[in-house]
Structure 1
Amino acid sequence: MEYNRVEVFIGGKRYVLRTQDDPEYMKELARKLDKRLEDVFSVDRLISLPDAAILVALDILDERVKSSSNIDNIRMQIKNYVDEAAESQRQLEYCQRKLDEYQQTIEKLQTELEIYTLRDKIDQNHTKPL
């Protein structure tokens, strides 16, 4: 694997990173981290860089844990939706089969009705006086 050498500045310090990730991606991460550190320093100008880094790390970890929990909840919702969709599909197929059965029954009854109607006409014609 090829490693990229990336120079970044975080908290006013220069760091040279070796990474397989895209250099622009790593620079963007460094910019975001630096911004978060600046936010901590803007609240407490006397805080040390290591302490600020710990606070930022805790905040990032908190976001990650909450995001993972949200992802798990979304996965569960998707699973429930998929299960509900599968049940709806089964119900649809059942209803379609029943509809087909009812249509066949209707066709059969219509045919029988036509036969009875024709028989009745024939019977009426035979019973008419000449």
Structure 2
Amino acid sequence: MSKNRIRLEICGVECVIGSDDSEEYIRAIGAEVARSMNAMCRQNERISIATAAVFAALNYCDDAQKAKAAADNLRAQIKNYVEDASHARMEADEARREADRLSREVQRLRARLAEEETDEPKPESPPQHKMQEEKPAPAETPQPQENAPETVDPDAEKGFISFFEKKTDEE
């Protein structure tokens, strides 16, 4: 990019600036310096243009140093945040691996438990007459509802098994 030559007038002093920056940017900077120097001259009518320029330069250098310190501070904070995020990501990855390991362990233990359950002999079922003894007493027989199919109570006079047995004396 070629150097731009810009003619500025600040507080009655004409100067030519050569810069790689755009003309709009240089004019904006010149206008800011002129505002600062004019404000100092209004505050103290006895101040010279040279003294106002020195004070303006000091103010802008002070602002630049503070901005640089703030930028450095922000960079340090960002660096710390990036490190914290990296540590958190590593911890999350480690926790994910541990969760996967535990999930595999649970699956392995469930498979082993299922295998052991199939290997164990099943206890024989108790005799039927004992089942009848263990049943609680039947509650009151509910009244059939209208249009409801009739139900048969297998425990009414005979046991459940004898209800389904073929009656040989009726043949």
- Greater C-alpha Rg: 2
Question: How far apart are the structure 1 equivalents of 2:92 and 2:67?
Answer: 36
What is the one-letter code of the residue matched to 1:50?
A
What is the one-letter code of the residue matched to 1:4?
N
Question: How far apart are the structure 2 equivalents of 1:76 and 1:70?
Answer: 10
2:94 partner SS: helix
Question: How far apart are the structure 2 equivalents of 1:95 and 1:49?
Answer: 68
Question: How far apart are the structure 2 equivalents of 1:116 and 1:80?
Answer: 53
Q: Deviation at 1:69?
A: 0.9
Structure 2 residues without counterparts, runs of 5 or longer: 127-171
Q: Deviation at 1:111?
A: 0.7
2:21 partner SS: coil
Q: Deviation at 1:81?
A: 0.4
Q: Which has the higher contact order (CA 8 A, sep 6+)?
A: 1
Look up the match of 1:36: 36
Look up the match of 2:122: 124
Q: Post-superposition, which runs of at least 4 consecutive aligned residues in structure 1 deviate over 4 A?
A: none
1:16 aligns with 2:16: yes
Deviations 1:83-106, CA, capped at 9 Å, x for gaps = 101100110111011001000000
Q: Deviation at 1:11?
A: 1.1
Write the mapping of 1:1-130 to structure 2, written as runs, cut at 5 A.
2-120=2-120, 123-124=121-122
2:122 partner SS: helix
Identity %: 25
TM-score when normalising by structure 1: 0.88
Question: How far apart are the structure 1 equivalents of 2:106 and 2:2?
Answer: 73
TM-score when normalising by structure 2: 0.68
1:21 partner SS: coil
Per mean C-alpha deviation after superposition, the further-off stretch among 53-62 and 19-28 is: 19-28
State how many pairs are aligned: 127
RMSD between aligned alpha carbons?
1.9
Question: How far apart are the structure 2 equivalents of 1:3 and 1:102?
Answer: 67
Question: How far apart are the structure 1 equivalents of 2:18 and 2:64?
Answer: 24
Q: Deviation at 1:14?
A: 2.1
What is the one-letter code of the residue matched to 2:26?
M
What is the one-letter code of the residue matched to 1:5?
R
